[in-house]
């Protein structure tokens, strides 16, 4: 369409959509005018009034057909049909409130489930990890060897064995999530704690989340070096994590050193992560024993 035609056609189409009744009335009047003029032509030829009227209708190929051609010319029929179907659907739903409630609930559950699945897929598979060489970070899980075993976390014994015989990973780390109580000058508070960075005899130090720093310590700029009591044990704060840091999820507020109890060496409570050596990166499976984050 030439640009100069838009000046005429766009206002016409908008008027046809938003002032439909007025446009339809004007169309009826216009067609009626042409029908009367055509009828007068046939009357002038000597036809009887009734025959002249039917002859005029035949010459114009029917008023309804002419109306449809005019509507097609405005190119708003698909939009009008959609609006009519939409209104019809609303009326039907209003007549059956029970069905409407079930339909809305089903749609809400479907949309919510799809959104949740996409969020997980996006976070786990699509979005790269905000880490150096994030594509080389994998989650390591135990593959069941017996019928009563399940795939999942590792035991301290298994983790220590992997560290001792590791050749595929530049780094291996084990984490365990638990609930702990933070106390001190402020009121005691229960938080989610992630024990990480396994080292024998490591001092008790911790990193805290940005939101815990805001909520409990009022964004104290001198927080580094302060001591908090975690489950009645003195723990040194060595850093505050960025606001967008969320590992393994946004619910955790404190990360501290993992202290393994010798009496619980076979309990499978550890989530293990590894950084693949670059030489192994291309030939390591992305599922099964090794699962990509």
Q: DSSP characters for 170-218? A: EEEEEEEEEEEEEESSSPPEEEEEEEES--TT---EEEE-HHHHHHHHT
202-255: pLDDT as tens digits: 678 999 999 999 999 999 999 999 999 888 889 999 999 999 888 777 888 999
Q: Where are the domains of the chain?
A: 3-95, 99-127, 134-292
Q: What is the pLDDT of residues 244-270, one digit of tens each?
A: 888 777 888 999 888 777 777 888 889
Compute the mean pLDDT over every residue in the chain, rounded to the nearest whole number: 76
Q: DSSP string of 141-160?
A: -BPP-STT--SB-B-HHHHH
Question: What pTM does this model have?
Answer: 0.50
């Amino acid at each position: 369409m030439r640009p100069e035609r838009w000046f005429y056609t766009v206002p016409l189409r908008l008027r046809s959509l938003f002032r439909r009744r007025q446009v339809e009335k004007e169309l009826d009047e216009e067609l009626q005018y042409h029908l009367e003029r055509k009828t007068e032509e046939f009357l002038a030829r000597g036809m009887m009034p009734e025959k002249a009227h039917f002859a005029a209708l035949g010459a114009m190929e029917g008023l309804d057909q002419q109306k449809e051609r005019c509507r097609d010319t405005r190119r708003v029929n698909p939009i009008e049909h959609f609006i009519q179907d939409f209104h019809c659907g609303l009326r039907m739903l209003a007549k059956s409130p029970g069905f409407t409630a079930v339909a809305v609930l089903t749609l809400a559950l479907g949309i919510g489930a799809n959104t949740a699945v996409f969020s997980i897929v996006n976070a786990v598979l699509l979005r790269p990890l905000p880490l150096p060489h994030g594509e080389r970070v994998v989650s390591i899980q135990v593959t069941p060897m017996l019928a009563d075993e399940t795939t999942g976390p590792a035991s301290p014994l298994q983790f220590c064995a992997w560290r001792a015989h590791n050749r595929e990973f530049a780094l291996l780390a084990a984490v365990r999530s638990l609930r702990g109580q933070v106390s001190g000058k402020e009121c005691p508070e229960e938080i989610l704690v992630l024990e990480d960075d396994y080292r024998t005899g490591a001092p008790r130090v911790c990193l805290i989340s940005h939101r815990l720093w805001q909520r409990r310590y009022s964004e104290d700029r001198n927080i580094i070096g302060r001591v908090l009591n975690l489950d009645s044990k003195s723990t040194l704060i060595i850093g505050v994590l960025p606001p967008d840091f969320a590992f393994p999820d946004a619910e955790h507020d404190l990360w501290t050193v993992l202290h393994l109890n010798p009496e619980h060496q076979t309990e499978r409570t550890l989530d293990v992560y590894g950084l693949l050596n670059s030489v192994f990166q291309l030939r390591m499976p992305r599922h099964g024993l090794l699962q990509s984050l």
